[in-house]
Structure 1
Amino acid sequence: MLNEIDLGRTDLNLLVLFDVVLRERHVGRAAERLHLSPSAVSHGLGRLRRLLNDPLFLKTPKGVVPTARAMQLADPVSEILARVSSVVASAAPFDAARSIRRFTIGAPDGVSTVILPPLLHELKRAPGIDISVRQLLPLPSETSPDRAWRTAFCDLESRAMDIAIIPSDHIPTRFHRHVLFEEDFVIAARARHPLARRLTLDRYCDAQHLVVSHTGDAYGFVDRILEERNRRRRVALTVPNFMFALPILAETDLIAALPRRFAAMHAARFGVVALEAPLPLGKFQLHGVASGAAMMDAGVAWLFEVLRAAVDRRSSPRKRGSMPRAKAGSPLSRG
């Protein structure tokens, strides 16, 4: 680490130079990206080597390779530059058309695959904005809705994440939230599946089921609903995410409960059809959530509004009658 004396004589541009050379693995290409001469880059690397007491990069016929010390510094330097960039960006009025910020959005995979296409369409007007998507997962074996997503709430407050999309009504009051859309479930199966002609509750229970479960736990919210009716099903396969489920359904006689919007957007290209469930599977709301402090950041507030507008403008699945809500737990983690 840099001590206090070193920091006083350190040029922040040296860290930028280090980061670019590390990414390019080539002094000449790094010089082009930085609009410097190769000799200027080499001179800067020399200063860094003396400062950090390490060669950092070793010459090869194809460019340079980082030393072990350089690789250790990669993440800390990247984080420092990201934080500095955020501080500088917040000092000036936010202009989406000119901004080069990166924002992080967290969502369960069945949600991110639904909101990303319309969001990216909206972001065409802000070509310098970059998005990182993190998969949100409820805490394993946590049945309390207000505690299942507490890791996401902690990440929002620490600003490790800018916005989260959470399938729960139990959002602490200290957070800003907005209902993005309401979701329910359909039964997905291959187009020529025998059940596609007539799906009764008896035939549904007799079928072999696929459950999306990131932990591999085969017991999901559908099983709780079936137990209330003294029914059971056989879960023949679990897979870790919804996109993985679609090609499996397309090639087998397995069936699965999938979010309606997700199925409407992605199922057809796999030859998978959506069937109305033979029993009420409940519905739930998806909330966009950000910390109060984050919403004071004009950039985050702008992105929150863009996300809301992107979801609103996308055609919703056809309206359905009222259905009872699913019981406690996470319907987007185990169906």
Structure 2
Amino acid sequence: MIIDYNHLARLDLNLLVAFDALLTEQHVTRAASRLGIGQSAMSHNLGRLRKLFRDDLFVRSESGMQPTPRARALALHVRAALSEVQATLRPDGAFDPARAERRFRLGIRDDLEVAMVPPLLAYIARAAPGVSLDVQQLDPERLLESIDDDRLDLAVGVFHQGRTHHKRRVLCRSDGFLCLFPRAAHDPAERLTIAHYASLPHVRVSTRAECEAAIDAALAKRRYQRRILLDTPHAISVPFVLQQLRAMATLPRRTALVAAASLGLATANVPFPLNGYSIAMLWHASYDQDAAHRWLRDTAMRIAGELDAAPPATAATGAR
């Protein structure tokens, strides 16, 4: 994001603080008291805010100063901006998740999103109701640029890149792969052979290039070749595609189990060895000592540990 210095130089940050106080209290006198200023000063700030945003922002009613639609639209952005400023100026300050209001931008591959984001968000909803997530699809070619330009707080995936100003922490080891398919493609009670695996049309996830290349190499070593029916960058769509086709996909184990349990598909062990991999977190070093960011990373580690310890999802499966 390019900073418009001329525009921002005319903005008094205290006006945004006053806006947030008015939004919280919905009363000029109480908002003024919260900021430690007089009522006339707060009224003056409200006038400046109205001029800045070209909107009344707050209108009088029997129950107090009610925010206009424009004010409600601004509320989340102003609160997020103030939270970011506060965290930046007090990186070592205490972080109370139960009272904090923060929006984290999380970059994650969609197959990992299926397995990890629901339990992560459920925990956040209980422990930190003012915290929210903005989940973004990872673009491997622009990953470091997104982190450096502060478009991502944290990335989760399989990373080999990184510079001296990036921090990396292994989140967990992959728990292997499973084949995912409709029952019309294979009887899950029977062992899946490599010949049958190769004979079926396959759905391939193009964003997992290394994994897909490893599958093709393992097959070629055994003189087999699979036919690719569909290449897609979206792993999350694969189970829905398989509901309509007599085809197969090879997915991370927990993602496949979640899909099988949710959509009535079946799973089986991959009929040849596939090496696992490490799933890691990547972030900018400037956030390394940020208390809120540390909490998010520690929470992600907690969720990853719980997923590793949890029994497999209940699903009709031929995986043994």
Q: Same fold (TM over 0.5)?
A: yes
The alpha carbon displacement at 1:220 in A equals: 4.7
Residue aligning to 2:128: 126
Amino acid paired to 1:102: R
Match of 2:16 among 12, 22, 25: 12
Match of 1:235 among 222, 228, 235: 228
Residue aligning to 2:259: 266
Amino acid paired to 2:100: S
User: Does residue 182 in structure 1 map to residue 173 in structure 2?
Assistant: yes
Residue aligning to 2:185: 193
Residue aligning to 2:315: none
Residue aligning to 1:165: 156
Deviates more, 1:162-171 or 1:183-192: 162-171
Amino acid paired to 1:185: F
Amino acid paired to 1:288: M
Cα distance in 1 between the residues matched to 2:208 and 2:106? 22
Task: Confirm or deny: 8 A CA contact 1:175 1:290 kept in the other structure.
Answer: yes
CA distance 1:99–1:201, shift in 2 (3 Å): same
- What is the Cα-based RMSD across aligned positions, in Å? 3.9
Amino acid paired to 2:231: T
Aligned length: 278
Cα distance in 2 between the residues matched to 1:312 and 1:12? 40
Task: Confirm or deny: 8 A CA contact 2:98 2:129 kept in the other structure.
Answer: yes
Unaligned runs of 5+ in 2: 29-43, 58-66, 313-320
Task: Confirm or deny: 8 A CA contact 2:56 2:68 kept in the other structure.
Answer: no
Amino acid paired to 1:280: P
Cα distance in 1 between the residues matched to 2:274 and 2:195? 16
Task: Confirm or deny: 8 A CA contact 2:16 2:78 kept in the other structure.
Answer: no
Where do 1:24-39 residues align within 5 Å?
Answer: 35-36=26-27
Cα distance in 2 between the residues matched to 1:245 and 1:9? 47
Cα distance in 2 between the residues matched to 1:9 and 1:101? 18
Cα distance in 1 between the residues matched to 2:128 and 2:139? 29
Residue aligning to 2:63: none
Task: Confirm or deny: 8 A CA contact 2:201 2:248 kept in the other structure.
Answer: yes
Cα distance in 2 between the residues matched to 1:178 and 1:167? 11
Misfit runs of 4+, over 4 Å: 1-6, 13-17, 31-34, 43-52, 54-57, 63-66, 77-81, 169-174, 315-319
Task: Confirm or deny: 8 A CA contact 2:198 2:226 kept in the other structure.
Answer: yes
CA distance 1:156–1:276, shift in 2 (3 Å): same
Q: TM-score, normalised by structure 1?
A: 0.68
Cα distance in 2 between the residues matched to 1:174 and 1:10? 32
The alpha carbon displacement at 1:255 in A equals: 0.5
Tell me, what secondary structure is at the counterpart of 1:314?
helix
Cα distance in 1 between the residues matched to 2:130 and 2:69? 30
Residue aligning to 1:106: 107
User: Does residue 137 in structure 1 map to residue 135 in structure 2?
Assistant: no
Deviation string 1:271-301 (CA, Å, 9 cap, x unpaired) is 1111111112321110122222211101101
Tell me, what secondary structure is at the counterpart of 1:181?
strand
Cα distance in 1 between the residues matched to 2:299 and 2:51? 47
Task: Confirm or deny: 8 A CA contact 1:189 1:249 kept in the other structure.
Answer: yes
Cα distance in 2 between the residues matched to 1:291 and 1:251? 42
Amino acid paired to 2:131: I
Tell me, what secondary structure is at the counterpart of 1:274?
strand
Cα distance in 2 between the residues matched to 1:302 and 1:215? 29
Deviates more, 1:189-198 or 1:123-132: 189-198
Amino acid paired to 2:180: A
The alpha carbon displacement at 1:5 in A equals: 8.1
The alpha carbon displacement at 1:246 in A equals: 0.9
Task: Confirm or deny: 8 A CA contact 1:165 1:288 kept in the other structure.
Answer: yes
Deviation string 1:75-105 (CA, Å, 9 cap, x unpaired) is 9x97676333311245353211111111122
Cα distance in 2 between the residues matched to 1:225 and 1:89? 48
Cα distance in 1 between the residues matched to 2:170 and 2:8? 48
Amino acid paired to 1:117: P
CA distance 1:244–1:55, shift in 2 (3 Å): same
The alpha carbon displacement at 1:266 in A equals: 2.9
Cα distance in 2 between the residues matched to 1:228 and 1:236? 21
Residue aligning to 2:302: 309
Match of 1:82 among 70, 80, 83: 80
Cα distance in 1 between the residues matched to 2:244 and 2:13? 63
Fraction of identical pairs, as percent: 27
CA distance 1:187–1:101, shift in 2 (3 Å): same
Amino acid paired to 1:132: D
